[in-house]
Structure 1
Amino acid sequence: MNLNMEEEKVLLVDGMALMFRAYYASAVTGYIRRTKAGLPTNAVYGFMRYFWDAVQKFDPTHIVCCWDLGGKTFRAEQFAGYKGNRSEAPDDLIPQFAVIQEVMESLNIPNISCPGYEADDCIGSLASRFSKEMDVYILTGDHDMLQLVNERTRVIIMKKGHGNYRVYSPESLMEEKQLTPRQIIDLKGLMGDTSDNYPGVKGIGEKTALKLVQEFGSIEGILANLDSLSKSVRTKIENDLDMLHLSKSLAEIRCDLDVVCTADGCRLNLDPVTVITKFEELEMASMSAWMGLAAN
């Protein structure tokens, strides 16, 4: 065993979370960065600032970026209202989706997605696979990802502003929320998720859901102890059992997809010239300097 070998660590990037965060953080000012030809690039620029800051801080040896695809997912098949409250992406953001992926390709970072599934499911599946051989760090703003935390998988939640992170391990998750990773799924099953537009049990909010999960351990534990619940809470659960089970199913991130991405295929290996050329094309040469890249 070579003790001098660099410790291997993969960063799984929630491309959707970073892209939307980058777009809205700058769009709120009313100014949209554009190339001379009129291509909006504010999300591209912001994405790279968020992304590269995390790379510098967490120093991964491997990186993968995961994305949603257009089209219906299996969750929308299960529940027609799933994410039905989401508004269309802003016109200025739509063309930047492909451009960000092109930038990641210029960095030799694979863009991964899977028809019928979400970026979360790709991340869950890759985390499950890669954690058998290296430490896994998931970069996101989505607290649903906390269900993926384990002894070899950390979830990095991006906080407001650049460079502000909360890194969750099983211990810090328990300390902050008094929940295990799997209990995040039970919590969502009970209280639902307004962002993803599924209801959970009508009339049960986060406070009650948290108390029930902490007391009984899981939805199964709660259902096995219905007699010990208050009449009000018991009635709400009994009246909404089907939605409770459906909401729990919707909340659970899939970790068993056959995602095509090998460890060798996502090892970080930049060619500065390719990256610099891409940034020059996008009229953001300052990004190359900020990343510390110099043409050989």
Structure 2
Amino acid sequence: MLSKLLIVDGMALLFRHFFATSFSKQFFYNSLDLPTNGVQGTIRHIYKAIEIIQPEKVIITWDMGSETVRTEWYENYKSNRPAPPEELVPQFDLVKDVLAELDFYQVGLKGYEADDLIGTITKHYDDSVIISGDKDLLQIINDDNELWLTKKGYTEYDIYNLNRFTEEFSITPHQFIDVKALMGDSGDGYFGVTGIGEKTALKLIQKHQSLDHLLENLDTLTKRQKENILKDYDHLILSRRLAEIITDVPINVNDVIQYSDYTFNLDRTLQVLDKYDLTIAKRYVEGLDL
């Protein structure tokens, strides 16, 4: 029987917990005069997930900068996002340093996003839980994994498995790529087709099964839809490429899996959290049943 694998979208948690407290200027500076609010929230979230899921393996995945293959395909990809706040910047390295000393296996690859690493790993592993806030990952759901979308605090998730996805959307996860192509993603800085939002995009793929088939049957669409698709055709094709998670990132998946075994050690954990003066995370971990 395979060991259960927990895969965490590290950047998603870091941003989530930074902004959860930064709006009220609670940055939790430590004795080294470093802001730690995002780091402490991320650590608390990971340990609570371990308590809930009880995995034998844990992998933390990271984006590795803004320059990726997608910015090569489209220079404006994610260019609409503001620069990170100055209090968040030092926490990018700090969180990785702390997690490394806590013996978590971390992986990132320049040119690729965390989603691509997650897609590649889950393609080769049969019992995994993914924690993220990114609905783009719905496209990689299969019989052997679950996507736990962060919802509230450290314990509430919107959990998707294959059955729930197909019942809710009436398409396959892979078809979700074509839905994304049509609707675009304003958060990532690209549009699909003018006038086509999520509901319309979903209905079109439910009816036509694929973007290719839809494009072969434009005469079945409304006049406005046909005109907009023809007008935005080049961007639509680009949007499909941008929306699709890469599942063949050049990493050694066998090594990643092999070295991701995780065993909780309370004394070691508390030592590390003391070293970095992460008192809030320390108190939280002490109260968990790990």
TM-score by length of 2: 0.93
- 1: CA distance, partners of 2:261 / 2:173: 28
- 2: CA distance, partners of 1:251 / 1:230: 25
The Cα shift of 1:269 comes to 2.4
Task: Say if 2:131 is the partner of 1:139.
Answer: yes
The Cα shift of 1:162 comes to 2.5
In structure 1, the residue corresponding to 2:187 is in which secondary structure? coil
Corresponding residue of 2:215:
223
CA deviation vs aligned residue, 1:43-102 (integer Å, no higher than 9, x gap): 111111221111111111101001011251110010111001010111111111111112
In structure 1, the residue corresponding to 2:152 is in which secondary structure? coil
Which stretches in structure 2 are left out of the alignment for 5+ residues?
none
Amino acid at match of 2:156: N
Corresponding residue of 2:167:
175
Task: Say if 2:102 is the partner of 1:107.
Answer: yes
* Structure 1 vs Structure 2 CA RMSD: 1.7
- 2: CA distance, partners of 1:24 / 1:293: 24
- 2: CA distance, partners of 1:286 / 1:220: 52
Corresponding residue of 2:274:
280
Q: Quick check: 188-197 or 236-245, which moved more?
A: 236-245
- 2: CA distance, partners of 1:98 / 1:160: 25
- 2: CA distance, partners of 1:273 / 1:183: 47
Contact in 2 for aligned 1:126/1:259 (Cα 8 Å): no
Q: Number of residues paired by the alignment? A: 286
- 1: CA distance, partners of 2:82 / 2:246: 25
CA deviation vs aligned residue, 1:242-267 (integer Å, no higher than 9, x gap): 11111000000001112244322001
Q: Quick check: 104-113 or 14-23, which moved more?
A: 104-113
Contact in 2 for aligned 1:26/1:46 (Cα 8 Å): no
Question: Share of identical aligned residues, percent?
Answer: 36
Which residue of 226, 229, 234 maps to 2:226?
234
* CA separation of 1:39 and 1:29: change in aligned 2, threshold 3 A: same
Task: Say if 2:252 is the partner of 1:269.
Answer: no
Corresponding residue of 2:91:
96
* CA separation of 1:293 and 1:164: change in aligned 2, threshold 3 A: closer
The Cα shift of 1:293 comes to 8.6
- 1: CA distance, partners of 2:101 / 2:268: 6
Which stretches in structure 1 are left out of the alignment for 5+ residues?
none
The Cα shift of 1:149 comes to 0.2
CA deviation vs aligned residue, 1:191-220 (integer Å, no higher than 9, x gap): 100000111112222222111011111101
The Cα shift of 1:286 comes to 5.1
Amino acid at match of 2:191: P
The Cα shift of 1:292 comes to 3.8
